[in-house]
Amino acid sequence: MLELNPGLVVWTIITFLVVLAILRVTAWKPLLAALAAREEKIRSSLEQAEQAREEAARLLEENKQQRTQAEQEAQRIIAQGREMGEKLKAELTEKAASSSRHMIDQAKEEIRREKEAALVQLRTEVADLAILAAGKIIDENLDTPKQRALVDQAIENINRKP
């Protein structure tokens, strides 16, 4: 089996302690310094990551607010455009209605003037025909102004009867 040699064990422990002392003097401080630097670097990276996460969250919130504002502005502009369109439509409708009323009024006035002119012309022709007929019937040569006055009076009497 396995036998233990006491001299070998003592020398192994002494060698281990000597190596440990040499490592502590030469390697332990640089290892601790490297571990401390590594720990500091990891802590710094974690802090930066946390700051970056907070910044990203802040930017995301700002982005949401800006998007909401942009949507509200777009809705306002759309509503304003619709309102202006409705106003323009109402104005154009009113202008068209006003223009058509004006044209109808002008046409009525023109018709009335034409009717009056036609009636005046018709009365004149009727008077001339009546004078001519009366002159032939009576075969008397009355003067024209007197005849016209008689015919105008007869026409006025006819207009009053209906």
pLDDT at 59: 95
pTM of the predicted model over 0.85: no
Residue 150: inside a domain: yes
| pLDDT tens column, 40-51 | 999 999 999 999
| pLDDT tens column, 91-145 | 999 999 999 999 999 999 999 999 988 888 888 877 777 777 776 666 555 567 7
Q: With contact defined as beta carbons under 8 Å apart, do 135 and 141 qualify?
A: yes
Residue 30: inside a domain: no
Domain that holds residue 118: 48-160
| pLDDT tens column, 13-50 | 999 999 988 888 888 788 888 899 999 999 999 999 99
Residue 105: inside a domain: yes
Helix (H) or strand (E) holding 5: none
Residue 31: inside a domain: no
